[in-house]
Amino acid sequence: MARHLLGLEGTTREEIFYILDTAASFREISEREIKKVPTLRGKTVIGFFYEASTRTRMSFEIAAKRMSADFISLSASGSSLSKGETLLDTARNLAAMRPDGIILRHPSAGAPHFLAERVDCPIINAGDGAHEHPTQALLDLLTIREHRGTLDGLKVAIVGDILHSRVARSNLHALRALGADVRLVGPPTLLPRELRAWAEVTNNLAEGVRDTDVIMALRIQRERQGANFFPTLDEYARYFCLTEAAVRLAKPDVLIMHPGPINRGIEIASDVADGPYSVIMHQVTNGVALRMAVLFLLINRSREVAVPEVEANAQPATLRRKAG
């Protein structure tokens, strides 16, 4: 395991499985009556969110607290950033307080990488601009593997605003590493050219979702769109909203996923989001276990560690490691 978690580009199959196996072993902690283990007692984690977040911020906080770490939350509006302090000065000041890890969400691609070179503690990317969102993709993989047992050979359609989606980029790298076939589906203006080398692309929703095992719908990121990429939201929805009719073209046991937040009736119909194939709430539940695993693996790297109690079917040998 590397010192930081900045992105999934270049991550190997073995590294991804190591994180997923660790996360799978942590799932049962959240089902206990007392949802707390002492694994990160005495550790301090800072959640530094420059952009709005519900799922990522809350699940990192819950994950840290379930492992007995102290979690301190900082947002742009409540920090001295609003007085003109730079990201680097803010981060240096936070690092001077000796946290054991900093989780950063930032609107600029590369901000976590910039910090990782300049502060002396693990940095976890919680979403940097339109670049990567590694923990979201890892929890997506955990959810697919939980339902399908494998990712090898699965056909996965990622539908929507690919251009502005850090979730799509992280998933594309990780799904390919694990042997899945990825199709990117959206209007031509929202399908970046550089990704066409790595996945099938189509502008036709029916073609894109046909015979797929997994469909991931993405939010239209209006806050990142400086130009008009399609005429109106109604028109976008007419061609790209994931409806029941579109889902019927996929495999009969297709998994419907969405990283959230959802724009109902724009990228996904309510009856699909809440329907029998939807695993959207499983994604959210798995987000806690996945983030527990990431905190555990990055923060506990200075000593030999063992997962406190593993599921009956987990492989303990994969969950033990030496100091990195």
Give the interface with ligand CP as residue ranges (CB under 6 A): 53-57, 127, 133, 136, 259-261
Least distance in angstroms from the C-beta of 289 to ligand CP: 15
Q: Do the beta carbons of residue 134 and residue 104 sit within 8 Å?
A: no
Least distance in angstroms from the C-beta of 109 to ligand CP: 15
What is the three-class DSSP state of 29?
Answer: helix
**Cβ distance to ligand CP smaller for residue 39 or 171:** 171
**Cβ distance to ligand CP smaller for residue 101 or 307:** 101
**Cβ distance to ligand CP smaller for residue 142 or 310:** 142
- Please give the backbone phi and psi of residue 278, each rounded to the nearest 5 degrees, phi first: -75, 130
Least distance in angstroms from the C-beta of 272 to ligand CP: 18
- Report the C-alpha gap between 190 and 198 in whole angstroms: 16
Give the residue among 166, 287, 279 at the shortest CA–CA distance from 221.
Answer: 166
**Cβ distance to ligand CP smaller for residue 72 or 305:** 72
Q: Where are the alpha helices (DSSP H) in 117-240?
A: 134-148, 166-177, 205-209, 233-240
Least distance in angstroms from the C-beta of 145 to ligand CP: 19
Least distance in angstroms from the C-beta of 77 to ligand CP: 16
Least distance in angstroms from the C-beta of 84 to ligand CP: 26
**Cβ distance to ligand CP smaller for residue 39 or 134:** 134
Kind and range of the H or E element at 75? strand 70-75
- Report the C-alpha gap between 51 and 75 in whole angstroms: 8
- Report the C-alpha gap between 298 and 22 in whole angstroms: 12
> Tokens at residue 26, please?
């942590």
> Tokens at residue 293, please?
């695993």
> Tokens at residue 186, please?
């959206």
**Cβ distance to ligand CP smaller for residue 146 or 200:** 146
Instruction: State the residue for tokens 């900045």.
Output: 6
Least distance in angstroms from the C-beta of 31 to ligand CP: 22
- Our CA angle for 286, 288, 291, nearest 5°, is 105
**Cβ distance to ligand CP smaller for residue 105 or 183:** 105
